[in-house]
A and B are shown apart, each in its own frame.
Chain A
Amino acid sequence: AQTVTQSQPEMSVQEAETVTLSCTYDTSENNYYLFWYKQPPSRQMILVIRQEAYKQQNATENRFSVNFQKAAKSFSLKISDSQLGDTAMYFCAWGETSGSRLTFGEGTQLTVNP
C-alpha cells in the first residue's frame, strides 16, 4: 500500500520570504503522479501543482515549484515570495496512473506572517 508522509505539522514564514514543505512517499509503482493541494480555511481544496513521475524536470507554477527526487521518494514544495493568501493547510498526495484514488499525507499548516 502507498503511504505519504508530511513530517512538518506546522510551519511559518515571513511575507516575501521562501519556504519549503517536505513530503516523502512509499510506493512500489514506477509510474505515478504526485500533487500538492492547498486547503485554506474556506475548506476548498485547490490544486497547486502536479508532477508526473516519468518526467525528470521539476514542475513549476509561478511562485510554486517542486523538488522531485524519485530515487529518494521525496517531493518537496517551494513557495517563493510568500504572500498572506498562501496561509493554508498544504497536502501532498500520490496518485496511480490508472486513476482510482489519491493517497494524502496528514498535511502541513503554513502560516504567512506580515
Chain B
Amino acid sequence: GAGVSQSPSNKVTEKGKDVELRCDPISGHTALYWYRQSLGQGLEFLIYFQGNSAPDKSGLPSDRFSAERTGGSVSTLTIQRTQQEDSAVYLCASSYDSWTSEYFGPGTRLTVL
C-alpha cells in the first residue's frame, strides 16, 4: 500500500477485556515499531521488530502487552485484561531498515471504560 495502515481506527472496550490492534506496514519495509501516545503527551516506545531478529520488547509496560509480526509484514499488538490507564492512541511505524526514517500510520485510539 501507499502508507502504513492501522485498524481499527477507534476501539472502545470495557475494563478487563482483551483487545487486538493491527498494523500493516509499507510494503518492503523490514522494520516495524509500536508507540503509545497518551493524551497530550509525546510518544512512548513499546516494541520494535527488525526482519527475522528477536524483537526489542524493552518498552512494553507490563506482561499484559504483547506483539507479534507474522511473515515479516503485518503486526498485531495485544493488550490483555485492559485497564483504564491503557487508554491512549497506539501508533505503528515502519521503515525500510533500521537506518532510515520511520513512517507512521494514523493510529488506533483505544478507550477503556
Residues of chain A at the chain B interface (Cβ within 8 Å): 4, 35, 37, 42-47, 50, 91, 93, 95, 97-107
Binary contact readout B14-49 vs A (1 if CB under 8 angstroms, 0 otherwise): 000000000000000001010100000111110010
Distance of B6 from chain A, by nearest CB (Å): 10
How far is it, in angstroms, between the C-alpha of A43 and the C-alpha of B92 when the chains are bound?
A: 12
Q: Chain A residues with Cβ under 8 A from B43's Cβ? A: 45, 91, 93, 102, 104
Size of the B side of the interface (Cβ < 8 Å), in residues, is 27
Binary contact readout B77-113 vs A (1 if CB under 8 angstroms, 0 otherwise): 0000000000001010101011101111111010000
Residue from B45, B56, B93, B101 in contact with A50 in the complex, judged by beta carbons closer than 8 Å: B101
How far is it, in angstroms, between the C-alpha of A90 and the C-alpha of B80 when the chains are bound?
A: 32
Inter-chain contact B98/A99, CB cutoff 8 Å: yes
Of chain B, the residue at the smallest CB distance from A97 is B99
Determine whether B8 belongs to the interface, using a CB cutoff of 8 Å to chain A. Answer: no
A-B contacts, 21 of them at CB < 8 A, read A42-B106, A46-B104, A47-B102, A47-B103, A91-B42, A91-B43, A95-B102, A97-B99, A98-B98, A99-B48, A99-B95, A99-B99, A100-B56, A101-B59, A102-B43, A102-B45, A102-B102, A103-B45, A104-B42, A104-B43, A105-B42
How far is it, in angstroms, between the C-alpha of A105 and the C-alpha of B42 when the chains are bound?
A: 6
Which 8 A-B pairs give the minimum distances between C-beta atoms? A99-B98, A45-B104, A104-B42, A101-B45, A104-B43, A106-B42, A43-B107, A44-B106
